[in-house]
Amino acid sequence: MLRVTEIFRSIQGESTHAGRPCTFVRLTGCPMRCVWCDSEYTFTGGDHYSLEDIVARVHGFECRLVEITGGEPLAQRKAFDLIRQLCDEGFEVLVETGGYVSTADVDERAKVILDVKCPASGEEPRNHWPNLEHLRADKDEVKFVIADRGDWDYAQTVIQKYDLQTKAKAILISPAWEQIDLTTLADWVSASGLNVRLQLQLHKYIWGPDVRGV
């Protein structure tokens, strides 16, 4: 069984897949507590579903792209089985993870969107650095959520230190919601000359920051 907060179809809002129709399976629970977290409602509650129930519901949305998210989806061991089963059934599977749990056992057909937590999140010490060794350059993406200049400097250091420009399909630079001026961050990104991608959380601009299930 897996504990699930919600299953719904919407528009993928972040990553290079932004704008695509996507079914989301949002699993309950997260061992981290990022100060700017926008998914606190996933920390508790949820309903228990069997793997078969989840897969049946995903089929019901008739959408080839599926994202497993949370919370921290990989904190539940059964999530690895769910990812494998969805891949077996021909879905294109995205896994959005906060970077605390090892991604080593994620099915190789899935596409990982891996957070590297920056200092202002309060969770930087919990980054599981070996995850950066598991990146597949043709499909996996790394995301830095930036709240201030210290985060941006940190992100640049990590990008260079781990050679992420060659190890990841994309490096996503995402502003922490209402924490940082967008033009300032855009100026930093453009001045860096790095092969990174500034991204906004599309779904929040469409439906607002607090709407669930979209």
Bridge partners (DSSP) listed for residue 97: 114
Which residue is nearest to ligand SF4, using beta carbons? Answer: 98
The residues with which 67 forms a beta bridge, in sequence order, are 24, 94
* Interface with ligand SF4, residue 25, by CB under 6 A: no
CB of 128 to ligand SF4, least distance (A): 12
Cβ-based nearer residue to ligand SF4, 98 or 135: 98
- Interface with ligand SF4 (CB under 6 A), residue total 10
**Residue nearer to ligand SF4 on the CB measure, 55 or 71:** 71
d(CA 153, CA 173): 12
Residue 198: which residues within 8 A CB-CB, separation 6 or more? 173, 174, 185, 186, 189
> What residues pair up with 197 in beta bridges, in sequence order?
172
Query: Is residue 13 a contact residue for ligand SF4 (CB under 6 A)?
Result: no
Contact (Cβ atoms closer than 8 angstroms) between residue 55 and residue 41: no
Asked if 112 and 102 touch (Cβ cutoff 8 Å), the reply is: no
Q: What strand order describes the sheet that includes 65-69? A: 47-49, 2-11, 21-27, 65-69, 92-97, 111-115, 141-146, 170-175, 197-198
Q: Does 151 bind ligand SF4 (CB under 6 A)?
A: no
8 Å CB contact between 86 and 59: no
List the one residue from 5, 98, 103, 116 that touches ligand SF4 (CB under 6 A).
98
Cβ proximity to ligand SF4, 45 vs 60, nearer residue: 45
165 vs 201, which CB is nearer to ligand SF4?
201
- Single out the residue of 34, 132, 142, 173 in contact with ligand SF4 (rule: CB under 6 A): 34
Residue 62 CB, shortest distance to ligand SF4, in Å, is 28
Beta strands at 2-11 and 47-49: parallel, antiparallel or unpaired: antiparallel
Quick note: the x/- pattern for ligand SF4 over 67-96, rule CB under 6 A, is: ---xxx------------------------
Is residue 46 close enough to count as binding ligand SF4 by CB under 6 A? no
State the nearest-atom distance from the C-beta of 42 to ligand SF4, in Å: 6
End-to-end CA distance of the chain: 24
The residues that touch ligand SF4, with contacts defined as CB under 6 A, are 30, 32-34, 37, 39, 70-72, 98
